[in-house]
Amino acid sequence: MAGEMWAPARETCSTVLACFLALSNGGTNKGVAMASGDKPVLLDAGHPETGEPKQTTFCWWARGGEPGPGYTSDKLDIEINDQRIVGTYIRARFDANYDPPFLSEQFTSQIPKQLYRDLVEALENDQVFRSHFASEDQSNIADAIKDTIRLTIGERSDEKTLYESDKSELAASKAARNAIVRYLYDRGKKTIRNQGTR
């Protein structure tokens, strides 16, 4: 997308999330120094020939439950592109009128910077990528609701999956995510992703 050029900078960020937040504040994802734990990692996110920044995305996918009517899927994707913050929410619920028997709806819109910042700051305060949570070790729970959270800047990606996460676990982050989901559901462009009906 066309827009103002980002001022060249070499940001030094204490966490990957800090880098993601810096991008929305007019930073650049070309030559960003990030850290995983206490080990700094130099990220050259620019294309080797053009110097254009590579893709910067955040994803939160909550899915699971009993097979059939009990299964739900809610996937939030956020992409930063030339300081535009675009969100896509994909919602899937059991619906026997479709084949396969799920109604899959997609809602897409540019999202307000403040909603995005609230999410990133909540993720940082909850120490999502810096802490280990008990629910990460519960992958043996049958039909568990799984939350996979992934952040990608250029070729660097951090991801974790929580199983049957306690309500108090990541409470602020979940609330901020839900605020974006609600915004997209109410104001986003809606499309039906199913291929056919019964």
Instruction: Kindly report the CATH number assigned to the domain that includes residue 127.
Output: 3.30.1560
- Computed over every residue of the chain, the mean pLDDT equals 77
Is 14:36 a contact under the CB 8 Å cutoff?
Answer: no
Please report whether residue 27 resides in a domain: no
pLDDT value of position 153? 80
Structural domain range at position 96: 56-151+163-192
Tokens of 18: 């800090």
Compute the distance between CA of residue 179 and CA of residue 185 in angstroms, rounded to an integer: 10
Does any domain span residue 111?
yes
Binned at pLDDT 50, 70 and 90, residue 11 comes out as: very low
CA atoms within 13 A on the CB side of 142: 2
pLDDT value of residue 67: 83
Between the alpha carbon of residue 50 and those of residues 7, 11, 61, 172, the distances in Å are 16, 20, 32, 39
Task: Tell whether 7 is covered by a domain.
Answer: no
Residue 3 lies in a domain: no
Kindly report the number of other CB atoms within 10 A of residue 133's CB atom. Answer: 18
Helix/strand/coil percent split, the chain, to 5? 25, 35, 40
Q: Is 42 inside a domain boundary?
A: no
pLDDT digits (tens, 9 = 90+) for 49-108: 444 555 688 999 999 988 888 899 999 999 987 778 999 999 999 998 888 889 999 999
Q: Give the model's pLDDT for residue 81.
A: 77
The pLDDT tens digits for 122-136 are 988 898 888 888 889
Q: Which two tokens stand for residue 122?
A: 């909540």
Pick from 73, 97, 23, 75: nearest CA to 53: 23
pLDDT of residue 139: 80
Q: How far apart are CA 128 and CA 54, in angstroms?
A: 23
Give the count of domains, the chain: 1
CB 80 within 8 A of CB 54: no
- Does the reported pTM lie above 0.85? no
Q: So what's the pLDDT on residue 27? A: 54
Residue 147 lies inside a defined structural domain of this protein: yes
pLDDT at 8: 29
